[in-house]
Structure 1
């Protein structure tokens, strides 16, 4: 790929989000389901997209949590089948490169600034509390938080049968309701159940079946992507996709995507924002995650907070005000109700740095693999068709 095509910045190694780069338009997670719709013979409308998929009577979209394009490209030995499908340009996830944001972009066909899930954790403007979008740990109505119809619901209205095959514990969760409402839900906790659920759902014509696999991400967080444990799980993923392909009729197409990649953050690239001088001054609340912090400020303190974070963090992160980040297109078009959920200041980590808070997010300090920032390792995702 060329630097110009993906908007890579030489100073930071960041990628420009695809909705802010005309060269990369049409290859984001938000473009996948509209492209599937066209391949099924219907039109979801919305923004223009250059992504085209082969016509088929049924599609199965498999999302492997944490399988970045660059990680897959580097691990041919562990994933020979998936690696053999590489060849088309990768897609990009959104900003931040994190699960809650990405799954909702896929499910709604919208940018983060439109669907409103702008991070792993973000501020609830009405209460000033922090919402964890994965665990949905606040009394927030998902339909108020994300009011747009999902792509699944829109496809159903067009006569396409839609099904979500995912873990039983996620049925009815806030995140599921934000991004996947309108589809039938099939609980599946292992590969045998996932394959059986996908095969049964794909028997309907036309149909879209979405299958979620979160195990690779789980191992990456705990052991790192540079670990035998992660590589072993990647082998399992590769075999699982082959098993699914073998079980489906040949006319049913599979699209394999991911929600983000991952980098390992070792002790030498960890900073504690509670210890570095000045980083909590003027700050009312920290959100986001270690690779992408939302920083919420006292009234009138935004400029001072941004200046302090820039000075103290230096080359370890890009620090922007909300206005600067939205002007760069980091979140795509931003709805008025979503704007105050974004940090007054945002800090995106460079390289493999992590911006930890031992006070507010002690659990994050136990993790090895991280994601959330705008590096190619985190934002580039495979888009494989078989």
Structure 2
């Protein structure tokens, strides 16, 4: 596969056609437009600090201005629907009409726009560069690859992600915090990294999820719930497939039960971790099938839309040149330093830098870079992907429903 070359991709991200656009309250006209993470202005990292401020946690800043709409609220439920990006809302609305009835705005995910990065960004209230969960998979110091979704107790989550979570700071201020999620997530590395400090409640289905969240709202505090199936069916069958539509129906029923069941003084916030793009088979490049792309590669991590390459000493510039020649304008091919300089991760703590690849491939348009031999073959059989910087992946909703006043 050979695409027109982009001689200098790094400066090109500032040029017309690859402009870094801020998030706003209205959708960008092109779902493939590139969106800058709006850290400190309107990102997923700003949600729980703003919620904490509304709930009276000392030192928390209401960056999103939630207090204007949530005045008098003393208990807040945050529901994260995995994969429900802002551009998926109008697709889901015919099957979940309540999503079109709630007021709201858009936020951005962080980068990469993928679940473990986003969940930790939400839970800590900090950008990825600060908390250190910098990809779906990343390379560990010993050269092995850590899959953050399948993470147990090694490495120690409290060391790998050393920042306090917003659940810890809220609980420390006397605010009750509750996490409601599938039971098998209890004690996982990602759960500890993103949510430590919250009381755990397991819920095996959407009805149990809504029941547990509403039960926790019987007292003032912060309640967080997670729904996974929309993302799952997007990956497996595609956005707007029949299984995806069935999951959207469940989302609508779940949000309706929560909104209609809110007690006095309560509010519901519905958000997501990222959106998704269906990728046609002809746009899938496997680096293992291209000799020029597999040369000098010593390790691969990340995911198909946000790929990390680790290379032999002294070979980085040759690898960058080879990938730029093949991928052309369908991806940014950046060195680690360029990716950090762009601000994709926010400021990166020195101890986290090596988790980013020597070379970072940020796929644009409908392109993915697979890594045959480095990752399970099932990765190449997915229908929808995410992880990159397009509006369809980066823009996420923040929908709000307020219960009766106290």
Q: Does 1:84 align with 2:98?
A: no
Offset of residue 90 of structure 1: 0.5
Aligned residue in 2 for 1:369: 384
RMSD of aligned residue pairs (Cα, Å): 2.0
Aligned residue in 2 for 1:94: 110
Q: d(CA) in 2 for partners of 1:290 and 1:350?
A: 11
Aligned residue in 1 for 2:292: 278
Change (3 A) 1:151 1:74: same
Aligned residue in 2 for 1:52: 66
Aligned residue in 2 for 1:379: 394
Q: d(CA) in 2 for partners of 1:210 and 1:368?
A: 29
Aligned residue in 1 for 2:6: none
Which stretch shows the higher mean deviation, 101-110 or 220-229? 220-229
Q: d(CA) in 2 for partners of 1:66 and 1:134?
A: 15
Q: Report Cα offsets for 1:107-156 as digits up to 9, x if no partner.
A: 0001000100001000112x011100010168311111001111100000
Q: Does 1:123 align with 2:139?
A: yes
Aligned residue in 2 for 1:194: 209
- Contact 1:72–1:79, Cα closer than 8 Å, also in 2: no
Q: Report Cα offsets for 1:270-329 as digits up to 9, x if no partner.
A: 111111231111211000011110111111211111111111111221111110011010
- Contact 1:276–1:312, Cα closer than 8 Å, also in 2: no
Aligned residue in 1 for 2:81: 64
- Contact 2:22–2:37, Cα closer than 8 Å, also in 1: no
Aligned residue in 1 for 2:16: none
Offset of residue 4 of structure 1: 4.8
Offset of residue 3 of structure 1: 7.7
TM-score by length of 1: 0.93
Offset of residue 189 of structure 1: 0.8
- Contact 1:27–1:51, Cα closer than 8 Å, also in 2: no
- Contact 1:108–1:115, Cα closer than 8 Å, also in 2: yes
Choose from 78, 99, 104 the match for 2:120. Answer: 104
Look up the SS of the partner of 2:213 in the other structure: helix
Q: Does 1:339 align with 2:353?
A: yes
Q: d(CA) in 1 for partners of 2:292 and 2:113?
A: 27
Choose from 280, 301, 318 the match for 1:304. Answer: 318
Q: d(CA) in 2 for partners of 1:32 and 1:50?
A: 7
How many pairs are equivalent?
Answer: 375
Aligned residue in 2 for 1:163: 178
Choose from 148, 159, 167 the match for 1:152. Answer: 167
Choose from 28, 33, 37 the match for 2:43. Answer: 28
Q: Does 1:353 align with 2:373?
A: no
- Structure 2: unaligned runs, 5 residues or longer: 1-18, 402-406
Summarize the alignment of residues 194-213 of structure 1 with structure 2, pairs less than 5 Å apart: 194-205=209-220, 207-213=221-227
Choose from 38, 45, 51 the match for 1:18. Answer: 38
- Structure 1: unaligned runs, 5 residues or longer: 20-24
Look up the SS of the partner of 1:360 in the other structure: coil
Deviating beyond 3 angstroms after TM superposition, the runs of 4 or more aligned structure 1 residues are: 2-8, 43-46
- Contact 1:226–1:264, Cα closer than 8 Å, also in 2: no
- Contact 1:122–1:131, Cα closer than 8 Å, also in 2: yes
